[in-house]
Amino acid sequence: MFFKKKINDTPRNIPGHIAIIMDGNGRWAKNKGLPRKFGHIEGAKKFKEIARYCNKIGVKYLTVYAFSTENWKRPQEEIDGIMNLLRDYLKDSTNFKGENIKLRFIGDKSALDEDIISLMEKSEAESNDATGMTACLALNYGGRDEIKNAVKQIIDDGIKSENITEELISSYLYTHDFPDPDLIIRPSGEFRLSNFLTYQSAYSEFYFDNVLWPDFSTKDLDRAIDEYNHRNRRFGGV
């Protein structure tokens, strides 16, 4: 494991916004001699478990990297399996029902099938009145693509260069109504962002873990938060 400390009983500062790169589904399945789709099925179950726990402990925003703009390069059979899994997830009326969790989706919807888009919009509308945690799924999302689209929209809106600020750019991002992530977690032993929340992660704390996503537990999340509490976030200051 990386960056792990013993959890104690002292009060913890819970990150307001946690972002997770849900990595390792395929390797998890391979290690068990199963087709990759079974890893994605277990990964989806794990998202629900971790989202419920985050809501319980007081996290305000949870953003997960579910499908990137680069994931279209994978075998078509795997892509179809992921999209069908997404359909099943969105059709499941028990998802967070009665748990006061708001669902949001970010990314370029234009490449997704119409029925998936409709299901996403329905899920957002049905949970819109929730006042608890916001669970955000990044689908067909890429950080650079997000910035590119923001720049295009700024140009289309005729905004003069002298009026462009960091705050203005942020207002054109998919996450315009979210705070930047406080803590970004990546399981699976990889040490990179993979084009996730590129603009928003400038001052995020990072936590890397060897555990593959389907095996990532609430105890692993507790360790990440415990490590976060040992960090000194200076935001460029002393």
**Known catalytic residue at 71:** yes
| CA terminus-to-terminus distance, the chain | 30
Give the confidence band of 1 by pLDDT, cuts at 50, 70, 90: very low
Q: What is the pLDDT of residues 39-62, one digit of tens each?
A: 999 999 999 999 999 999 999 999
Q: List b or e across 213-231, with b for residues whose CB sees 16 or more CB atoms inside 10 angstroms.
A: bbbbeeebbebbbbbbbee
Question: 180 an active-site residue?
Answer: no
d(CA 184, CA 63): 9
pLDDT confidence of residue 92: 85
Domain boundaries, the chain: 17-141+179-187+200-228
| Chain position carrying tokens 């913890």 | 12
Q: Residue 5: its pLDDT value, please?
A: 43
Model confidence pLDDT, tens digit, residues 127-158: 999 999 999 999 999 999 999 999 999 999 99
Task: Report the alpha-carbon distance of residue 143 to residue 181 in Å, rounded.
Answer: 14
Closest CA to 175 of 125, 112, 104: 104
Residue 143 CA to its chain's centroid (Å): 12
Q: At residue 235, does pLDDT exceed 90?
A: no
Catalytic residue among 23, 182, 220, 226: 23
| CATH number 3.30.460.10 is the correct assignment for the domain at 17-141+179-187+200-228 | no
Given 71, 95, 149, 195, the catalytic residue: 71
User: E-assigned strands of the chain?
Assistant: 17-21, 61-68, 102-106, 134-141, 183-186, 205-208
Separation between Cα atoms, residue 123 and residue 127, nearest integer Å: 6
- The answer to whether the pTM exceeds 0.75 is yes
Would you state the pLDDT for residue 93? 63
Question: Is the pLDDT at 187 greater than 70, yes or no?
Answer: yes
Note the pLDDT of residue 6.
Answer: 44
